[in-house]
A and B are shown apart, each in its own frame.
Chain A
Amino acid sequence: KNEVEQSPQNLTAQEGEFITINCSYSVGISALHWLQQHPGGGIVSLFMLSSGKKKHGRLIATINIQEKHSSLHITASHPRDSAVYICAVGRDDKIIFGKGTRLHILP
């Protein structure tokens, strides 16, 4: 079993829909990261959080430390949000990555 599990693996939605991507982890962590990987391969850090909730524009990330679970929400989704979203957890000197959720927003 992977230490970081994401669901769903693939998600296709219509423009404007509310999107939720889930991440569960099985190890003790210092922080949780949400990353976005564009089709060209570049990765951008979206959030780093260790408790509660963070918001940036149309993106919201939440974490429940007791349940070892985090969610990434996208409000009013747009085709430009199409990308792979990666959950990763910080532990000791390293990050452990999930396999990613491939999101495709249809116009």
Chain B
Amino acid sequence: KAGVTQTPRYLIKTRGQQVTLSCSPISGHRSVSWYQQTPGQGLQFLFEYFSETQRNKGNFPGRFSGRQFSNSRSEMNVSTLELGDSALYLCASSFDSLSFYGYTFGSGTRLTVV
């Protein structure tokens, strides 16, 4: 079956711009989580969506937001981009948020802010 699909794979944006990243989870998975990966901070949790509702939120500023659609696809948005937002953004899906059996990650979107 198809894995977690993230688009685009690479993005280059200028400071102050905004960006939208997309994630299609594995078919049947209703929970989608987003992580930011950087060499210095490692993998940091951004937020989790389940049935179109944000269930968990990490410690990121309000410039980072997301949403989930009725087909479980999710998007995350970063507004007013800063150089420090350059990172690999990973989407992960799981089957059931009440019985956590771990994630399946996508390959990520590499965002570079210049």
A binds B: no
- Which B residues form the contact surface with A (CB < 8 A)? none
- Which A residues form the contact surface with B (CB < 8 A)? none
